[in-house]
Structure 1
């Protein structure tokens, strides 16, 4: 059941807290929300406390009056604020894309709050091809009438990166990504995220993340990669594995950025990760 809490600046943020066991804080990608982790809740609520957060400006959380607060440092503070709100000293993090970047930032400054980190299709280097693709749609409504129209388009346009995904699966994906409105599908995030990303790119605000990945030393780490990813290259994943030969690793066939986390390979990696942090 969705709940709200106040961040330290008063902005109301939405979260969901279900299951029992090791606390697993789920952080979604740039424009995404807690619904991305429904498969994780379905498969692991009997063995983990699955905590899903809508970052500020996403999903059911409040939009920040200052779009420059959509940054990794601020969002990391929000994640810690939720742990504090729930009375948790430490948690494992499952971070998809930007959520994984947040986890690595926390590893540098707040490693004592982490039980471990599972990264979903993200690493210390972000492939420029993927960034260009994201900027092509970021902050723009999709121009689709409803979820059925979205499923039809996604089945066609995503065939190269997600071959064989059914229209029913794409419809479920569309439900998680957009809202249905009288005038067509609407964004489930603050469109000013585009301004925040553009400003950060202009100032080169994204730091070198290799030291932050290395800050995970001594903690259980897992990596899930879509075999067709245009964000996490095979070369970057190989370097991550070289630096952390003990890292749990799964490459998901027929998936791009990002795996849905319902695939057998993804579920096996998460299961092994939860065993490692228990």
Structure 2
């Protein structure tokens, strides 16, 4: 039985050390493949990857962190510290903890951007990169949509009410079972002192998005600097990664293998068997097993 083991690593910020929580998945078989680091989207947490991690942890270790300000990790006192370059630095101690010379990477949205940042650095340990519904252009209209639902961090009287909120906000994840939605709610909630429930992220995260005005974020130089193999998963109805951007990504930089999910938007939940198996097959290529 493969089960998650909780851990944490200290990360250094200007305000001092902060605790980065994670769960590690690993079976008792010889480690035939490089470790995998799975990094979630803007307001989510590492337990989003439980289904995928359980599958990938056959002959390898899988590390799923909660980025600072999310899940069980510490919040920051300065909201301006919630940036992708800072997150990339935060993950260096976790990569070191794997003890491996190379790691594979699965990143949903924000987690994919962090992976791209790390992958282009000289001497990067990233061997293979999976980008879940993110790429060389982040559509401004999608950022405005995300900014809008972050304006208020609602409190709920019950976990069931919070789950209903998540089902509405994250409907583009695609078709999920009741058990899967309950899982996302359970691990995506924090209990307040007054007994209410709130989403498990620091509401100050939205402050770094305050100046967004609908302009696209263009990252072609970053994409074209990549050298590792890339799998891009795109929700067919995504408003963050356009079909035109993905077509250009296939023809430039490292190129990419593509999996389009027909019944999802931004971003596929990576819980469906076909999504899980596609990622597993991609990461097992060239691993020497």
- Asked whether the 8 Å contact 1:155–1:165 carries over to 2, the reply is no
User: 2 CA distance for matches of 1:53 and 1:277?
Assistant: 25
Q: Distance in 2 between the 1:29 and 1:120 partners?
A: 9
1:276 aligns with one of 277, 280, 285: 285
Give RMSD over aligned pairs.
Answer: 2.5
Selected match of 2:225 from 194, 204, 215: 215
Shift of 1:191: 1.0
- The residue number in structure 1 matching 2:261 is 252
Gaps of 5+ in 1: none
The whole-number CA distance in structure 1 between the counterparts of 2:102 and 2:175 is 39
1:11 partner SS: strand
Shift of 1:130: 1.6
Query: Could you list the runs of 5+ residues in structure 2 that have no partner in the other structure?
Result: none
Aligned residues: 273
Contact 1:151 1:167 (C-alpha < 8 Å) held by counterparts = no
Q: Any residues of structure 2 matched to 1:8-87 within 5 Å, and which?
A: 8-9=12-13, 10-19=17-26, 20=31, 21-87=33-99
Relative distance call for 1:271 and 1:259 in structure 2 (3 A) is same
Rounded Cα–Cα distance in structure 2 between residues aligned with 1:238 and 1:12: 39
1:6 corresponds to 2:15: no
Residue from 252, 259, 262 that aligns with 2:271: 262
TM-score by length of 2: 0.84
Taking structure 1 as the reference length, the TM-score comes to: 0.87
How many angstroms does 1:131 deviate by?
A: 1.1
- After superposition, the C-alpha distances for 1:64-114 in whole angstroms (9 at most, x for unaligned) are 222111111111011112112343332111011001011111123245221
- Give 1:75-114 correspondences, 5 Å limit: 75-110=87-122, 112-114=124-126
1:202-233 residue CA offsets vs partner (Å, 9 max, x unmatched): 7x9x974112112222x121111111212111
Structure 2 Cα separation of the partners of residues 267 and 252 of structure 1? 12
Residues 88, 115 of structure 2: 8 Å contact kept: yes
